[in-house]
């Protein structure tokens, strides 16, 4: 359902603002796929957790069997508080997937790592590990889209927009639940655009 486009790991890109940027790691969870018609739920994917990892471009293609009569698709970016408090889980939720904080419990909803000429850090590195599920640091984001083509929905993820909205000169390192992490999660949500 979601196809990644041209973005490749470890390639150098120039942003609109002339910053040159390289992504070395990009992984995030999406969950709780719900299909609606006129605001009413017509279908909910069971056990709806997906880990998208740029290392494996196939992970950006999600197959869901759902009824045809829907007009909107809703899903979350991240892992909800129920799953965050449920103990050890397997599959893509296994803590060996590198998406779980060990020193303070909770899933990392999104990992984005790389270098940018805008970052005045060692080796120009930035690290965004966005997570947190407890009030007031709940970084789970919910998205809803109108469905036009019901067979094949493509959602663009415009990382360009993330880097134009986040000042990576000062805001380059995030690795714990906090209000700032919530803000980053809110920005991250806005880069998902239906094609």
Partner 1 sequence: MKIKLLLILLIFTGLMSFVAHKDLLFFAPKKWPKPVYNFTNNSLDKTKIKLGRILFYDPILSKNNTISCANCHSPYNAFTHVDHALSHGIGDSIGIRNSPALMNLAWHKSFMWDGAVNHLDMQALSPISHLDEMGETIENVVLKLQQSNGYKRLFYKAYGDSLATGERVLKSISQFMLTLVSSNSKYDSVINMKASFSIQEKKGYTIFLKNCSSCHTEPLFTNLNFENNGLSLDKDLKDYGRIKVTQSAKDSLKFKVPTLRNIEFTYPYMHDGRFKTIGEVLNHYTDGIIHYKTLSQLLQKKIKLNADEKVDLTTFLLTLTDKSFLFNPKFGYLNFRQ
Pick one of 3, 9, 89, 175: the residue that binds partner 1 (CB under 8 A): 89
Is 128:110 a contact under the CB 8 Å cutoff?
A: yes
In the complex with partner 1, the residue whose CB is nearer, 95 or 156, is 95
Pick one of 35, 43, 100, 128: the residue that binds partner 1 (CB under 8 A): 100
Pick one of 6, 55, 63, 103: the residue that binds partner 1 (CB under 8 A): 103
Pick one of 5, 14, 20, 85: the residue that binds partner 1 (CB under 8 A): 85
The alpha-helical segments, DSSP class H, found in the chain are 81-84, 159-165, 179-190
Question: Is residue 102 close enough to count as binding partner 1 by CB under 8 A?
Answer: yes
* CA gap 115, 129 in Å, rounded: 14
Question: Is residue 98 close enough to count as binding partner 1 by CB under 8 A?
Answer: yes
Phi then psi dihedrals of residue 70, to 5 deg: -120, 160
Question: Is residue 88 close enough to count as binding partner 1 by CB under 8 A?
Answer: yes
Bond from prior residue into 71 cis (ω within 30 degrees of 0): no
Is 147:75 a contact under the CB 8 Å cutoff?
A: no
- Interface mask (CB under 8 A) for partner 1, residues 120-159, using x and -? -----------------x----------------------
**For residues 17-56, which are near partner 1 according to CB under 8 A?**
none
Q: Return the bridge partners of 116, or none.
A: 21
Structure tokens at 137: 């640091």
Q: Shortest approach of partner 1 to residue 97 CB, angstroms?
A: 8
């Amino acid at each position: 359902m979601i196809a990644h486009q041209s973005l490749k790991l470890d390639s150098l890109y120039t942003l609109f603002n002339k910053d040159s940027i390289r992504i070395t790691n990009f992984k995030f969870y999406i969950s709780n796929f719900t299909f609606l018609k006129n605001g009413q739920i017509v279908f909910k994917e069971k056990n709806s957790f997906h880990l998208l990892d740029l290392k494996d471009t196939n992970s950006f293609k999600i197959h869901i069997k759902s009824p045809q009569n829907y007009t909107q698709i809703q899903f979350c970016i991240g892992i909800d508080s129920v799953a965050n408090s449920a103990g050890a889980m397997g599959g893509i939720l296994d803590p060996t997937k590198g998406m779980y904080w060990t020193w303070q419990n909770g899933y990392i909803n999104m990992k984005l790592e790389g270098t940018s000429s805008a970052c005045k850090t060692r080796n120009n590195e930035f690290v965004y590990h966005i997570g947190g599920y407890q009030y007031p640091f709940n970084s789970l984001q919910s998205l809803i889209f109108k469905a036009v083509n019901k067979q094949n929905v493509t959602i663009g993820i415009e990382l360009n927009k993330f880097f134009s909205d986040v000042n990576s000169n000062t805001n380059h390192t995030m690795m714990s639940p906090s209000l700032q992490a919530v803000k980053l999660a809110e920005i991250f949500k806005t880069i998902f655009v239906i094609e």
